[in-house]
């Protein structure tokens, strides 16, 4: 998760609120992929097709994945180990 300044978050709030509002229990993994892909494409469209910008998108996606794994998936797995017992 990029821990950006509150002032920088404020300028993105309208867009992120609209995206979050569109997500419900019928949203699929494909829908999520579509939304993320559109944001990545918009970033490249705005910045230009250059290695630096492509690398920035890949880096942001990798960092987002790693942070989600650390903050959400790992604690979930730890709870499941406590509930069901460890495999190892």
Q: How confident is the model at residue 1 (pLDDT cuts 50, 70, 90)?
A: low
> What is the per-residue pLDDT for 24?
96
71-84 per-position pLDDT tens digit: 999 999 999 999 99
Q: What are the tokens at 49?
A: 């097709």
Mean local confidence (pLDDT), 2-9: 87
pTM metric for this prediction: 0.85
Give the span between the Cα atoms of 10 and 33, in whole angstroms. Answer: 24
Q: How confident is the model at residue 59 (pLDDT cuts 50, 70, 90)?
A: very high
Residue 3, C-beta contacts closer than 8 angstroms, at least 6 positions apart: none
Task: Quickly tell me which residue has 């609209």 as its tokens.
Answer: 18
Give the span between the Cα atoms of 16 and 39, in whole angstroms. Answer: 11
Q: What are the tokens at 75?
A: 């604690």
């Amino acid at each position: 998760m990029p821990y950006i300044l509150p002032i920088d978050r404020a300028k993105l709030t309208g867009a992120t609120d609209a995206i979050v509002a569109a997500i419900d229990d019928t949203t699929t993994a494909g829908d999520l992929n579509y939304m993320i892909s559109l944001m990545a494409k918009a970033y490249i469209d705005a910045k230009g097709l250059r290695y630096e910008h492509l690398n920035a998108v890949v880096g942001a996606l990798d960092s987002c994945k790693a942070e989600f794994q650390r903050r959400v998936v790992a604690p979930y797995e730890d709870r499941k180990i406590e509930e069901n017992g460890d495999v190892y």
